Chains A and B, each alone.
Chain A
Amino acid sequence: MTALLEIRNLKAEIAGKQILNGYDLTVKAGEVHAIMGPNGSGKSTLSYVLSGRPGYTITEGQALLAGADLSQMSVDERAAAGLFLAFQYPLEVPGVATMTFLRAAVNAQRKKRGEEEMSSPDLIKSVKEIAKILDMDMEMLRRPVNVGFSGGEKKRAETLQMMLLQPKLCILDETDSGLDIDALKVVSNGVNQLRSKDRGIVVITHYQRLLDYITPDVVHVQSAGRIVRTGGKELALELEETGYASYQSEAA
């Protein structure tokens, strides 16, 4: 069976500087992978290269989503194909009510996939259910996207979008940063509800803490733009003890 995400010897640069140095990663449907690594090791870069952020150029290798070459797809095509990125730093969209944004996103994806639009009542119903799971006030969804949201609120809002859009591949970039312990539990609970045999989840994090709530099947250590070690969930605990120091020197 084709893997959901297949990255082979991927090299990518930004502003002429190579950040990813031969990245290999395979995520099968139904799996949850954690990618851990020191700051500056290129974790966010990986997420941007996969989602197609302008300025990030693949110079070698390949990234396939369910067998389709991502480099041949525009940003919105990748999204419609089921790739979702929960941003480390979600952006604000002034003047656009969150609900309006959600409707636009859901229906844009549906349209690209040749599906019928979601009706307003259905949308509101789904959003209400998700907001309840994430302990979010519906009032917040009338406000412009992420404008004036606290760090924690932004991460909840990202999770809400992800749960609503039901992507095939979820990439969470440091969704835990800025969350207190209660919020962390709530958000993790939301992510765990998305676990399914048809879906892959990649959790990028600096800390092991999040993995107490979202138990990964596989843990990778990333350093200097590639994966340097892979193991089971116990690897995360080991890292908690030893820190990244050894990996940083390895990369140097």
Chain B
Amino acid sequence: MAAVQETVEQVRRVGADQYKYGFVTDIESDLAPKGLSEEVIRFISAKKNEPEWMLEWRLEAYRRWLTMTEPKWARVDYPAIDYQDLYYYAAPKSTAGPKSLDEVDPELLRTYEKLGIPLHEREILAGVERPEGEERPRVAVDAVFDSVSVATTFKEELKKAGVIFCPISEALREHPDLVRKYLGTVVPTSDNFFATLNSAVFSDGSFVYIPPGVRCPMELSTYFRINEKNTGQFERTLIIADRGSYVSYLEGCTAPKRDENQLHAAVVELVALDDAEIKYSTVQNWYPGDENGKGGIYNFVTKRGDCRGANSKISWTQVETGSAITWKYPSCVLRGENSRGEFYSIAISNGRQQVDSGTKMIHLGKGTTSRIISKGISAGHSSNAYRGLVSAHRKAEGARNFTNCDSLLIGDACSAHTIPYIEAKNPSCVFEHEATTSKISEDVLFYCMQRGLSQEDATALVVNGFVRDVLQQLPMEFAVEAQKLISVSLEGSVG
């Protein structure tokens, strides 16, 4: 008992103190008037010099949202959100529009430096170790600070390859037809309460277009930072991989420690045309709140990929360690014949965190396949639920899915739940489901400690072993970072 008991104690101490990204950047902001109204939406749209159709699109979403109610089915519990008590737009004053790197406010550059995200074109993300002599892979970064993108790197070089990678607000001005053709086609404005809200007020996010036959020459990544108080972040990401193209994209996020909860309601849409592949990885590290559950981000996110073309492939990999409440189900609509969807997830909850996350694999086309590997780790007083849907349409002849959900419990005060839904309307499809729930083995911890590992290191090692299948799916550069993050979110004093 003792080892587990101690682990529980240590894990309990983790929380606010362990969160390294909790600082606030002191910078003047342009804020929209508090609250939500048609005026605020017009304000946001005007700030971004949007075309008229975009404003109409937003207003329509807003009117619909007024008729909707917040979903209540998830295993999460939080006080009612006052949507009139939030700011829907906050932008650093110094950054009126996208600028070259030299013009970015040094205070912002320092902020990203501190976060391990250098905004220059020399290095990749910090904390990454490479074997000597091996060339460092480059990563293009779009940095979103509150409601606006403050810098995007490697734009010129990407342009040479025909790749468009820019803030979505810029794409709306520079490539309006492309945006209009795809925006809202994967997650319609009417999709769900939070997605509809996002459609009305979304501020910024990244836009990616990979032309036919192009393999994107580097990793693309967007780094989201919430800084301003009482501000929601509503970013919108749209990625289109045209026929036969490939892109690997990563998003990361952090926020300062604040006593109030902050709302993050993002929408991510992915479109893969014939033979295209999108690999989307997330390392989510929003502020989780303190050990008593005070503060932290409400992460209510809609992420969906549409395998629109034949033989297309979309894979979601996520490492979720932050947020007070997580409500997210990155999904794949497998429309194209023989298209493939994948979902690899590590969700760690600690303290008072609540996670309700999973995926949906919607098999519409013939011969579509999908694979789900989910690893949930609960510690402290947290609750961690996997919720997944695998469905096959009548026409999804020969569809196949393999699902594996494993949960690991650390201590006695946390809980894990697995809620799988399966709907097969075609008799030829084969869906396999495996699930396990286990407690971290005290004997294994003792064994590791007998070899000299501290309690914390032993716990981190066992957890890293537990999630190995999923870690291997991350781009190598980020796997190292993710591994460290896992240790930090579970350990008490190492660091």
Contacts and interface: CB of A to CB of B under 8 A. Distances in A.
B437 interface: no
A123 B455 CA distance: 23
Interface size class of A (residues with CB under 8 A): 20 to 34
Which of A78, A84, A101 has its CB near the most chain B CB atoms (within 10 A)?
A: A101
Contacts of B248: none
B451 A79 contact: yes
Nearest to B448: A93
B454 A55 contact: no
Contact of B2 (A54, A80, A96, A165): A54
B447 A90 contact: yes
B422 interface: no
A109 B1 CA distance: 24
Contacts of B2: 54-55
A16 to B, nearest CB: 13
A158 to B, nearest CB: 10
Contacts, number: 84
Interface stretch (B84-92, B141-149, B186-194, B459-467): B459-467
A141 to B, nearest CB: 15
Given A54-B3, A91-B447, A108 B464 contact: no
Contact of B452 (A91, A105, A144): A105
Nearest to A80: B452
Contact of A108 (B3, B442, B446, B454): B454
Contact of A161 (B446, B451, B457, B464): B451
Interface string A73-91: 0111011100011010011
A167 to B, nearest CB: 10
Nearest to B3: A54
A84 B3 CA distance: 19
B457 to A, nearest CB: 6
Contact of B444 (A79, A80, A91): A91
B444 A108 contact: no
Contacts of A165: 451-452
A161 B464 CA distance: 21
Given A79-B452, A105-B451, A96 B446 contact: no
Interface string A193-213: 000000000000000000000
A114 interface: no
Interface string A82-121: 0011010011111110001100111011001000000000
Given A74-B455, A96-B462, 5 more contacts: A80-B452, A93-B461, A95-B466, A96-B464, A109-B451
Closest 10 CB pairs of A and B: A95-B465, A54-B2, A109-B452, A105-B451, A95-B468, A96-B465, A75-B449, A91-B447, A79-B452, A108-B452
